[in-house]
Structure 1
Amino acid sequence: MELFIQTALGFPFAFFLVLLALVAVYWLLAGLRVIRVSCFDHDSLRDDHLASTLISLGFSGVPASFALSTLIVTATPIAFALSLVLQWLPLGLLRLPLGFLAIWAAFALSASPSVGACHALARRFHHSRRASPRWLLGETVVVRQASDNEGRCQATLESDADVVVTLHGKGPGCIAGERRVLVKHVAHEDVYRAVPAEEYLDAHARLRKLHLLPRHDI
């Protein structure tokens, strides 16, 4: 029992206790409607580094706050198991660097099940009475019809055909059957900007591309 108490109150698991407390306070305030569930979401992915990172990991169609909360809750038991191992071993000065490694490992191991849980609940968020159009950013849509004279067209979510959105682009018009990714919501028009799916690069693809450029240039 003493080992479990020391593990729960020691590093690195104490870090997760703080995160869990913040998650509990956040959802309590959201339940009381003191803050909005979508308070971490923005109208565009361009300057929203948090949302862009989460989408690159596979979290799309749900609020960023929900994705983060799911990731933290899922990572907590993994972090406790890793912390228990570290607490049991006589590591000495290695305890601190291995503690940070355990934090990273807990999040890495929890990413896949967290993404699966968010995908399973995405349809509920799509049809929620409190749904925000920002939650759809990063989702792939299928164009239903070619753009009209004003550059507008209708599209449906690839993962949920019941959700219909309006696209209004500044560049070339949309083509029926084309797959696009929602990257910006224009609130005053209630339309989305979208780019062709084949041109959309997530954060990991961008990093790999930047890493390979110097090799090609040599």
Structure 2
Amino acid sequence: MEAFISNIFHYPTVFFTILLAVITLYWAVAALGLIELDVLDLDVDFDADLDVEGLTGIAGLMVTLGLTGVPFTIVLTLLVLLGWFISYFVVHLFFFWGYGTFMTYLVGTALIPVAIAVSIPVTAALIRPLKPLFKKAYAPVPEKVLLGRPCKVRSTRVDENFGEATADLEGASLILKIRAEANNKIKRGDMVVLIEHYPENNTYWVVPEHEFNSNH
């Protein structure tokens, strides 16, 4: 255990350890419903890997590297986790220099981009079998199928700018971005009804289920 602790805080593994801690915190906060799951996602279509033309910047690079087709947060998690493993075992097996030495920083700094470069094709291979699943999960659902349907709030609050809920559709559980008036005081676990869809940001306006039932 002492050797493990020493290695994860040894440069350059500590670089990936910090990133891994941040990502773990993100997943924990997202699971609690404090932030929306796609808060870090890039605006890349799930079919983008079929058509690279017209894509630039990070989106174009990710398509070229085969890192699209699943949420960006999953790609980032795998990249950091693989980079951490590579760095950890290289440090454990081959770093014989003491902490803070010139060779540690020289070789360690060179190892970071190498670990990332090795992680990219491995991540691309790992996410390949997941792409059909996410393509189906993220396929647009016709408004008429969801509007008027009850769903359960999974976020800690719902207002004009924030909110998530889960809805069951033919055995599948969908996570939807929802919005509502803040004075409704909708909270986690409440049942709401989808009454309007805003396609520009793919959000749904909701009202409490008891309010919807009383008006219909």
TM class by smaller structure: 0.5 to 0.7
Alignment map for 1:28-67 (pairs within 5 Å): 28-43=28-43, 49-67=57-75
- Cα 1:8–1:118 change in 2 (3 A) is same
Deviations 1:137-187 (A, max 9, x none): xxxxxxxxxxxxxxxxxxxxxxxxxxxxxxxxxxxxxxxxxxxxxxxxxx5
Q: CA deviation at 1:23?
A: 1.1
- Identity rate of aligned residues, in percent? 25
Q: CA deviation at 1:59?
A: 0.5
- Cα 1:188–1:29 change in 2 (3 A) is same
Alignment map for 1:1-218 (pairs within 5 Å): 2-43=2-43, 49-89=57-97, 92-128=101-137, 131=138, 187-188=199-200
TM-score, length-normalised on structure 2? 0.53
RMSD: 3.0
Alpha-carbon distance between aligned partners in 2 of 1:132 and 1:98, rounded to the nearest angstrom: 45
Gaps of 5+ in 1: 134-186, 191-218
- Cα 1:126–1:58 change in 2 (3 A) is same
Mapped contact 1:3–1:87 kept (Cα < 8 A): no
Alpha-carbon distance between aligned partners in 1 of 2:104 and 2:78, rounded to the nearest angstrom: 27
- Cα 1:117–1:10 change in 2 (3 A) is same
Q: CA deviation at 1:102?
A: 1.2
Q: Which amino acid aligns with 1:69?
A: T
SS at match of 2:70: coil
Q: CA deviation at 1:123?
A: 1.5
Moved more, 28-37 or 95-104: 28-37
Alpha-carbon distance between aligned partners in 2 of 1:85 and 1:189, rounded to the nearest angstrom: 49
SS at match of 2:40: coil
Which residue in the other structure is 1:178 paired with? none
Alpha-carbon distance between aligned partners in 1 of 2:31 and 2:2, rounded to the nearest angstrom: 36
Q: CA deviation at 1:3?
A: 4.3
Alpha-carbon distance between aligned partners in 1 of 2:6 and 2:44, rounded to the nearest angstrom: 44
Q: CA deviation at 1:27?
A: 1.2
Q: CA deviation at 1:188?
A: 3.6
Gaps of 5+ in 2: 46-53, 141-198, 203-216
Alpha-carbon distance between aligned partners in 2 of 1:105 and 1:60, rounded to the nearest angstrom: 21
Alpha-carbon distance between aligned partners in 2 of 1:85 and 1:77, rounded to the nearest angstrom: 12
Alpha-carbon distance between aligned partners in 2 of 1:61 and 1:124, rounded to the nearest angstrom: 9
